[in-house]
Amino acid sequence: MRWSYRLRRAFWGPGLGPARQPADESIPFVIHWNWALKGQCPRGPPRVFIRHYGSSVGSVPPPGKHERLFRNISTAEAIQRHRRNLAEWFSRLPREERQFGPTFALDTVHVDPVICESTPDELLRPSSELALDHQPPPARLPTLALSQLFDPDACGRRVQTVVLYGTVGTGKSTLVRKMVLDWCYGRLPAFELLIPFSCEDLSSLGSAPASLCQLVAQRYTPLKEILPLMAAAGSRLLVVLHGLERLNLDFRLAATGLCGDPEKPEAPATIVVNLLRKYMLPEASILVTTRPSAVGRIPSKYVGRYGEICGFSDTNLQKLYFQLRLNQPDCGHGAGGAGVPATPAQRDNLVEMLSRNLEGHHQITAACFLPSYCWLVCATLHFLHAPTPAGQTLTSIYTSFLRLNFSGEMVDSGDPSKLSLMAYAARTMGKLAYEGVSSRKTYFSEEDVRSCLEAGLRAEEEFQLLHVFRWDALRFFLAPCVEPGHRGTFVFTVPAMQEYLAALYIVLGLRKTTLQQVGKEVAEIVGRVGEDVSLVLGIVAKLLPMKALPLLFNLLKVVPRVFGRVMDKNREAVAQAMVLEMFREEDYNNDDVLDQMGASILGMEGPRRHPDEAPEDEVFELFPMFMGGLLSAQNRAVLAQLGCPIKNMDALENAQAIKKQLGKMGRQALPPSELLDHLFFHYEFQNQRFSAEVLSSLSQLNLAGVRMTPLKCTVVAAVLGSGRHALNEVNLASCQLDSAGLRTLMPVLLRARKLGLQLNSLGPEACRDLRDLLLHDQCQIATLRLSNNPLTAEGVALLLEGLAGNTSLTHLSLLHTGLGDAGLELLAAQLDRNQRLQELNVAYNGAGDTAALALAQAAWRHPSLELLHLYFNELSSEGRQVLRDLGRTAAGSAQVVASLTEGAAVSEYWSVILSEIQRNLNSWDQGRVRRHLELLLRDLEDNRGATLNPWRKAQLLRVEGEVRALLEQLGGPGS
């Protein structure tokens, strides 16, 4: 889970801005492609394409430098309609991108990946054993821009066919989409007509005959009238064939004959072969994209140039990508809460921390070699630091990420099994990931990887699938480790992906021992045989005296039940390991899992390792979160689309096993960070009924010291907000809460009897939300602690409105809230509007004698108030004496505590006063506290000298010792 282990510590700046999401370098081209091919568009306003160095909004294709081929006005209008349609289709955003804000558009954040020219010799050279060493081709081969793909080669020969290849996640789809949009806005003047085809769509047609003209006319209606002119377009016509690995091409004449007539019906594969042979439309330019394993399907004699898409092999491209994505204005809201836009300084701070981590060439730099992982990094930062869309979870981000990269992808289109690439990855990479989690390691040797990939391979077809997977997708999941001391090993490209795949491996039921694999088949066979035999013998037993035989054969039906219990025990063991991992506590420093993720991406150290701990010991706290998330209905539906269906019965049995273990662990009192992890697990699971049953015994919500970001507030509210049982105490002290956090947590706060919000920097604006909380008809709060928040007199005026209509509050602490004289006078004037209050603490508020006396008199008149705290205010000796004198003769029952002494004796509340001072010693103004303590110490000494009672002297001396100890802590004179 940690990218930043052994990395230098970065700086958490004040108030991180919203993490804008990365340009989707990995969105499957086929999503947009099929809209175009099927003549459909999703709902939503069209977007124009804007490159990062300029805008082309409303631009019109400039006149070409060459003589235009389509001079007819109606023909030109048809091409213009074609341009507009393509621009609209290819500018649409999938749901995964629309979540980043209503104004977000990929147009402004596109960064071209590096394209290096390659040769057939480079393609045919023996690959490394694991095909992980994807270094750019030798320096003698130049890098290419999109505008240079069809330039003459080194010998000056014309290039007509270009093949671009790259592994999963390098940005092939986005690159082609960008090229299409470039043409739509006139930035490719060399081509007068562009016709894109998705090979996935063509493969779905099977061998049904259709001519090239028919394929074009069906998919691009505006081009119907210019189809006869295609042949005359020559090199000004560009045909794009995206995803060639989807088609099984056969260039043998015996298999696919020659066909040069665009109007002759043929199988789609035959048309593609003849286009590449240059037998059909011999002068047209053709751009092909494919995965590396399928490059050899096109004979090299038909290819003019090869280009390998090397992703963001230049760190500057990674930094540019993050800068453009994360600095997008109006893409979301700042970490300060919903409705509060992030300032440019907050966005710049986030980008700066991320760039600093990239500059160190750490493991995150190796991961962001793939543009798709840049998207994942930005999506995770947006999830952590911006208001979360309803229903979005961390698991759904990773599942969507895999759908964007693997949707519809097969390992090998030529294999009859049609095995999903994601299903193959779950079986192989999931096994490696789970073995790593089980043995607590994140570094894998070449032997570790090979053993997981080659386990159980017997047939030639299986080795062929492995070969294709190594070429096309292994680099997507594994990367060479760049950390010192671990050279020569491999790690998962992002740390969290190991835990995700391990969880997927478990919930798919792929983890089976040999006994389980054989036992399940035997149990099913024996069970079926037992049912059949028992049925036959039951009929025979009615005619013959063989009543014992059916009883014997009925025992056979018990076998499946016994096996089912064995499987249940296995699930319970996994669930127990998962729960123990989630509640794994390190006493030295254990941040919650969300803070660990953010620190890992931004370059900060995660939880510090204990000096005595083994260096290879790893904590996999995301593993249980992902297990819960994958069992949710939403993620199971997406996984089914990826070819990884989770059976309903398996999901139910896993959930029951987890609930059983959580029920045992949930009754224990958990530290704040571990409790938040527990709640985050429920949030990922997205099952309110499950959470309500497991958390029904939770009576104390102690999250003191946990930094409550908007996401964490959403998590707590989503999990506990719908519960019905009351919470005895909700402690949110020192949580950096703001007004937006209070509004989000309102359903939880309403159920609290004791609510602690001290040390949160809540200002007057937060008092509006506190007023609404107190006035709510479901409010159950009896004790409200607001000490050490800058409420001021303005805020207390709003609180008094809430107190006037509240019937549950009995204890209110406004200690050190900056009320001053004005605040205490407001309280004195309106205190009688609440008839239930029993204790009021307004100590350390800078009030003088007059305001304190007015509030004391209001307290004595109050019918229910029993205790008023006034100590540590700016009271003179005369003022304290007046309060003591009036207190003796006051008609009310309220006790006013203004000092450690009451006359010549010690106040009975001296321990309460000193404990408050001790608790807040580090957060209060040191000089002011020292001055007050010295005054208290002088009063104690004077009273001790004035009394002759030895018992009182002993009490005063004891309290003096406590005060001197506090002064020594502050560095003052203790004696």
**pLDDT by residue (tens digit) across 543-578?**
545 555 555 555 545 545 544 444 455 667 666 767
pLDDT category at 14 given cuts 50, 70, 90 is: very low
Q: Got the DSSP string for 896-920? A: EE-SSEETTEE-TTHHHHHHHHHHH
Mean pLDDT on 354-368? 84
Mean pLDDT on 742-750? 95
Give the C-alpha separation, 284 to 281, whole Å.
Answer: 6
Mean pLDDT on 260-276? 94
Condensed to tens digits (0 to 9), the pLDDT of residues 850-904 reads: 999 999 999 999 999 999 999 889 888 888 889 888 888 877 788 898 887 776 6
Residue 403 pLDDT: 92
Q: Range with the lowest mean pLDDT among 419-423, 541-545, 699-703, 832-836?
A: 541-545
Give the C-alpha separation, 357 to 7, whole Å.
Answer: 9
- Hey, what are 665's tokens? 């662990």
Q: What does DSSP assign to residue 311? A: E
Confidence check: pLDDT of 52 > 60: no
pLDDT category at 20 given cuts 50, 70, 90 is: very low
Mean pLDDT on 278-296? 94
273 within domain boundaries = yes
Condensed to tens digits (0 to 9), the pLDDT of residues 714-727 reads: 999 999 988 788 89
Residue 850 pLDDT: 95
pLDDT category at 360 given cuts 50, 70, 90 is: confident
Place of tokens 């590396």: 292
Mean pLDDT on 279-295? 94
180 within domain boundaries = yes
pLDDT category at 957 given cuts 50, 70, 90 is: confident
Q: Got the DSSP string for 452-499? A: HHHTT--SHHHHHHHHHHHHHTHHHHEEE--STT-TT-EEESSHHHHH
- Hey, what are 285's tokens? 């330019």
Q: Range with the lowest mean pLDDT among 112-116, 190-194, 508-512?
A: 508-512
Condensed to tens digits (0 to 9), the pLDDT of residues 642-658 reads: 999 998 888 888 888 88
pLDDT category at 211 given cuts 50, 70, 90 is: very high
Residue 313 pLDDT: 85
Give the C-alpha separation, 320 to 9, whole Å.
Answer: 23
Mean pLDDT on 210-220? 94
- Taking the whole predicted model, whether its pTM rises above 0.85 is answered as no
Residue 520 pLDDT: 45
Higher pLDDT, residue 168 or 577: 168
Residue 47 pLDDT: 34
Condensed to tens digits (0 to 9), the pLDDT of residues 769-795 reads: 999 999 999 999 999 999 999 999 999
Residue 71 pLDDT: 59
Could you say which of 310, 344, 362 is where a domain stops?
310
Confidence check: pLDDT of 22 > 80: no
Structurally, the chain folds into a number of domains equal to: 2
Task: Give the number of other CB atoms < 10 A from CB of residue 548.
Answer: 9
pLDDT category at 197 given cuts 50, 70, 90 is: very high
Could you say which of 275, 292, 310 is where a domain stops?
310
pLDDT category at 817 given cuts 50, 70, 90 is: very high
Residue 526 pLDDT: 46
Give the C-alpha separation, 153 to 120, whole Å.
Answer: 14
577 within domain boundaries = no
87 within domain boundaries = yes
Confidence check: pLDDT of 338 > 50: no
Distance of CA 42 to the CA centre of its chain: 26
Mean pLDDT on 509-525? 52
Confidence check: pLDDT of 584 > 90: no
Residue 213 pLDDT: 94
Residue 945 pLDDT: 74
Q: Which of 46-50, 436-440, 535-539, 922-926 has the highest mean pLDDT?
A: 436-440
pLDDT category at 333 given cuts 50, 70, 90 is: very low
CA distances from 856 to 607, 784, 814, 840, 850 (A): 49, 21, 15, 11, 10
Residue 667 pLDDT: 67
Confidence check: pLDDT of 81 > 60: yes
Q: Is the separation of the CB atoms in 839 and 807 below 8 Å?
A: no
Confidence check: pLDDT of 7 > 50: no
Q: Got the DSSP string for 345-396? A: HHHHHHHHHHHHHHHTT-HHHHHTTSHHHHHHHHHHHHHHHSPPPTT--HHH
pLDDT category at 305 given cuts 50, 70, 90 is: very high
Residue 27 pLDDT: 36
Share of the chain above pLDDT 90, in %: 42
Residue 697 pLDDT: 86
Confidence check: pLDDT of 132 > 80: no
Could you say which of 310, 344, 376 is where a domain stops?
310
| Contacts within 8 Å (CB) and 24+ apart, 83-86 | 83/183, 83/184, 84/184, 85/36, 85/220, 85/222, 86/36, 86/180, 86/181, 86/183, 86/184, 86/194, 86/196
Q: Which residue, 399, 453, 406, is CA-closest to 430?
A: 453
174 within domain boundaries = yes
Mean pLDDT on 123-135? 54
Q: Is the separation of the CB atoms in 635 and 396 below 8 Å?
A: yes
270 within domain boundaries = yes
Containing 951, the helix (H) or strand (E) segment is helix 950-969
238 within domain boundaries = yes
Q: Is the separation of the CB atoms in 736 and 760 below 8 Å?
A: yes
Give the C-alpha separation, 968 to 953, whole Å.
Answer: 22
- Hey, what are 607's tokens? 């939880």
940 within domain boundaries = yes
Task: Give the number of other CB atoms < 10 A from CB of residue 509.
Answer: 15
Residue 487 pLDDT: 83
| Residue range(s) defining the domain that contains residue 216 | 73-124+141-310
Containing 425, the helix (H) or strand (E) segment is helix 421-438
Residue 336 pLDDT: 38
Higher pLDDT, residue 679 or 928: 679
Confidence check: pLDDT of 58 > 70: no
Q: What does DSSP assign to residue 117? A: E
CATH of the domain at 293: 3.40.50.300
Residue 93 pLDDT: 74
Task: Give the number of other CB atoms < 10 A from CB of residue 544.
Answer: 9
Residue 757 pLDDT: 96
Mean pLDDT on 122-130? 58
Give the C-alpha separation, 308 to 127, whole Å.
Answer: 15
Mean pLDDT on 318-329? 82
Q: Is the separation of the CB atoms in 753 and 728 below 8 Å?
A: yes
Residue 964 pLDDT: 87
Average confidence score pLDDT of the chain? 80
Residue 583 pLDDT: 65
Q: Is the separation of the CB atoms in 856 and 896 below 8 Å?
A: yes
Place of tokens 């009320």: 819
Condensed to tens digits (0 to 9), the pLDDT of residues 229-257 reads: 888 888 899 999 999 999 999 999 888 88
